[in-house]
Amino acid sequence: MKKILNDPAAYVDEMLEGMIAAHPEIYRMAGQRVIARAGAATRGKVGIVSGGGSGHLPVFTGYVGKGLLDACAIGDVFASPSAEEMADSMRAANGGAGVLRLYGNYGGDVMNFDMAGETVAFENDIESTTVLLADDVASAGPEEAGKRRGTGGMIFAFKTAGASAERMDDLETVTRIAQRTADNCRSLGMALTPCTVPQAGTPTFQINENEMEMGMGIHGEPGIWRDQLRSADAITDEMMDRLFDDIKLADGDACSILVNSLGATPQEELYIIYRRAATRLQDAGARIVMPLVGRYATSMEMTGATITLCKLDEELETLLKEPCHCAFWTVM
């Protein structure tokens, strides 16, 4: 293992300390492994929390900020936070108007967040709702869409739900916006090389020098096929074909797209992917809105990329374009 660290066991805590030291105007610690927006929760505003394992920055903690998340619970690398940390994140986000739990569909996270919701309802009378991102089309077929894992789609859901909460919509509305965004997102990933979890010390999977894997999950979950590495256009075409199979775009439909690096893939290669993906979207008759190209949801130092499509109606498009600010993403 070749990593810049002091102690694998201190990896997450030292990362959080650094993040808060660098951006004290945005983040504050609100408990053991709980990050909240600097300053107190806004009275009367719906709080939005997320959470999950470390190793995906800017997901999850990075997106705490104005117009996005209010608080976040973070676990060890690729491991669920405890239910108590999740409950603390909900207490930190609570402005008296209820809290939305908005996160990816992973078994451990779901069980712990549900437990946390029950605890704060019993102990603190905090009303809360859940919206799960299940946008990774490689993880289950359309007939079992509810079993899919959450990936890049959560960026769009954080943004639209965050903007909805910022304009002081009520919990039901913020939840509805988040759910509709989640329903309209489809993602697919591909990987070239694995990453290493600091406390494990060995790569999450093995792959030959000249191979790629289509459909791999953001923790190295097995994908659809593994074969010789193909050209950027061929890879992008297959990814777009698979996404179009799952979400129908009619002529003139507004659609945002995220071309995301899993960590080590450089911005240059993302633009090579985007070049082709944009052509495919335009050929399909879609109107591209606010494309995102960069590191938005990573898997440590994994090489590879994900593409997320988010189909937009008028309301979602308006919310996507509203201002937001965190250390990793600003919309003016």
Task: Tell me if residue 56 is catalytic.
Answer: yes
Task: Give the separation between CA 114 and CA 160, rounded to whole angstroms.
Answer: 23
Q: Which is nearer to other proteins, 35 or 188 (CB)?
A: 35
Structure tokens at 168: 């002081």
209 binds other proteins (CB under 8 A): no
119 to 138, contacts with other proteins by CB under 8 A? 119, 122-123
Near other proteins by CB under 8 A: residue from 84, 170, 211, 317: 84
CB of 28 to other proteins, least distance (A): 21
CB of 173 to other proteins, least distance (A): 27
Task: Give the separation between CA 282 and CA 63, rounded to whole angstroms.
Answer: 30
Q: Which is nearer to other proteins, 81 or 152 (CB)?
A: 81
Burial grade of 203 (CB within 10 A; 0-12, 13-18, 19 or more): middle
Which residue among 33, 101, 149, 219 is the active-site one? 219
Q: Which is nearer to other proteins, 107 or 252 (CB)?
A: 107
Distances (CA, A) of 324 to 87, 190, 202: 25, 29, 37
CB of 103 to other proteins, least distance (A): 14
| 75-83, 155-163, 169-177, 202-210 -> range binding other proteins (CB under 8 A) | 75-83
| 83-91, 181-189, 202-210, 220-228 -> range binding other proteins (CB under 8 A) | 83-91
- Which residues make beta-bridge pairs with 321? none
For residue 134, give the nearest of 116, 152, 109 by alpha carbon: 152
Binding mask 280-309 for other proteins (x = CB under 8 A): ------------------------------
CB of 125 to other proteins, least distance (A): 13
77 binds other proteins (CB under 8 A): no
CB of 86 to other proteins, least distance (A): 9
| 80-88, 164-172, 194-202, 207-215 -> range binding other proteins (CB under 8 A) | 80-88
Near other proteins by CB under 8 A: residue from 8, 20, 38, 82: 82
83 binds other proteins (CB under 8 A): yes
CB of 236 to other proteins, least distance (A): 34
Near other proteins by CB under 8 A: residue from 80, 175, 236, 261: 80
Number of residues lying near other proteins (CB under 8 A): 19
Binding site for other proteins (CB under 8 A): 75, 79-84, 87, 107-108, 111-112, 114-116, 118-119, 122-123
Report the catalytic residues: 56, 219
